[in-house]
Amino acid sequence: MKALVKAKDEIGLVLSDVNVPKIGNDDVLIKVKTTAICGTDLHIWNWDNWASSTIKTPMTVGHEFMGEVFEVGPDVKNFQIGDRVSAESHITGQNSRNAKAGKLHLDPETVNIGVDRDGAFAEFISVPARNVVNLPDSISDQIGSILDPFGNAVHATLSYDLVGEDVLVTGAGPIGIMSAAIAKYVGARKVLLTDINDHRLELAKKVCDVEVLNPLTGSLEEKMTEMGIKEGFDIGLEMSGSEQAIDQMMSAMIMGGNVSLLGLPSDKIQFDLSKAIFKALNLKAIYGREIFETWYKGMALIDSGLNIEKVITHKFHYSEFETAFDLLNSGKAGKVVLTWD
């Protein structure tokens, strides 16, 4: 089968012929239909310090995908050939204290698809059945392929009661835009989304009805006054990993405000912890999705009318992967999907 493989210690990926993965008794073989490129895949493509010290070559990459069940292991009871499915990309252990308590997203033995084991940028992928999720008809193939990053947004955003609250989202990447859309959809009063990339802010305006600000060209304080936010934002969703954005968020929060930290800084950062302490902020670090409550809530949001289709800006056939990665590296795209038909 065809697969996009990090073949050796160098930038880029190679379109290769590899064996169709074998499935174990509890696994499902999925015929991949649509995949999406994640920031993680860009790190792997660009072969930065994190990627080169984490990925063991050769590795088929990619973890955001949907497809159809093609074969099931003998012990798999709850999936049929032809089911439309996606899958949770974090394959957790089952023996730690957290896993045994049902808190699978906190299991320390978690293995990531497309990072620690062969991934989804391929014609077929083998996944443990317990990670596979059936897709309702209300979820299109394209949206089915981005439920993983949408789940990051759902997890971070729904960590707090948003009804009537004022929300600051820093970073208008796909996850920040989806977070802003969710906040607005579930009843936040005012939502402000910031980014230093105007393309991203323009995209955000197409996806959801929120205020936007480029902090390089506009003042956050003035924007807050204009929006009628007097004491600060009640909820902060940090989706950039930028030191400047984190600093700005801490300054703009209300006393006792709630913050989700999802953005990953690329290095150690300077952080004024005393500002957070004197404001008595509640800081929650977010990793992945709550398995599987986030999947349930996210699909329910879409089923009930939340529309995030426009966050997907480009669609390519997998053979055009180089164009797709170049486009994403340029910062001029939202979510980019690859089709595998």
Using CB under 5 A, list all residues that contact Zn ion.
38, 64, 149
For the bound state, the minimum distance from the C-beta of residue 234 to ligand NAD, rounded and expressed in Å, comes to 19
CB of 315 to Zn ion, least distance (A): 17
Query: Exactly one of 34, 40, 60, 294 is catalytic; which is it?
Result: 40
Q: Which of 124, 17, 129, 138 is nearest to 62 (CA)?
A: 124
Question: Which of Zn ion, ligand NAD, none lies near 170, with the C-beta cut-off 5 to 8 A by kind?
Answer: ligand NAD
Candidate segments 48-56, 125-133, 262-270, 306-314, binder of ligand NAD by CB under 6 A: 262-270
29 vs 172 by CB, closer to ligand NAD: 172
The binder of 287, among Zn ion, ligand NAD, none, by C-beta within 5 to 8 A per type, is ligand NAD
Q: How far, in Å, are 1, 52, 127 from residue 49 at the CA level? A: 30, 5, 28
Indicate the residue type of 260: S
Residues in 128-157 at the binding interface with ligand NAD, rule: CB under 6 A: 149, 152
| 3-state per-residue secondary structure call for the chain | CEEEEECCCCCCCEEEECCCCCCCCCEEEEEEEEEECCHHHHHHHHCCHHHHHHCCCCEECCCEEEEEEEEECCCCCCCCCCCEEEECCEECCCCCHHHHCCCHHHCCCCEEECCCECCCCECEEEEEHHHEEECCCCCCHHHHCCHHHHHHHHHHHCCCCCCCCEEEEECCCHHHHHHHHHHHHCCCCEEEEECCCHHHHHHHHHHCCCEEECCCCCCHHHHHHHHCCCCCEEEEEECCCCHHHHHHHHHHEEEEEEEEECCCCCCCCCCCHHHHHHCCCEEEECCCCCCCHHHHHHHHHHHCCCCCHHHEEEEEEHHHHHHHHHHHHCCCCCEEEEECC
Q: Find the angle CA(182)-CA(186)-CA(190) to the nearest 5 degrees.
A: 80
- Minimal distance in Å, beta carbon 252 to ligand NAD? 12
- Contacts of ligand NAD in 33-52 (CB under 6 A): 39
* Catalytic residue flag (residue 313): no
Part of the chain binding ligand NAD (CB under 6 A), chosen from 202-210, 217-225, 250-258, 283-291: 283-291
**Nearest residue (CB) to Zn ion, 4 versus 168:** 4
Per CB under 6 A, 174 contacts ligand NAD = yes
For ligand NAD, the closer of residues 44 and 76 by Cβ is 44
Whose Cβ is closer to ligand NAD: residue 149's or residue 257's?
Answer: 149
The structure tokens 């953005």 sit at 263
**C-beta closer to ligand NAD: residue 28 or 180:** 180
| Residue closer to ligand NAD (CB basis): 144 or 334 | 334
The binder of ligand NAD chosen from 263, 302, 311, 321 (CB under 6 A): 263
181 binds, among ligand NAD, Zn ion, none (CB under 5 to 8 A by kind): none
Whether residue 54 lies in the annotated active site: no
Name the minimum Å distance from CB 44 to ligand NAD: 12
Residue 240's binding partner among Zn ion, ligand NAD, none (Cβ under 5 to 8 angstroms by kind) is ligand NAD
Binding-site ranges for ligand NAD (CB under 6 A): 39, 149, 152, 170-176, 194-197, 200, 215, 239-242, 244-245, 262-264, 286-288
Catalytic residue annotation:
40, 43
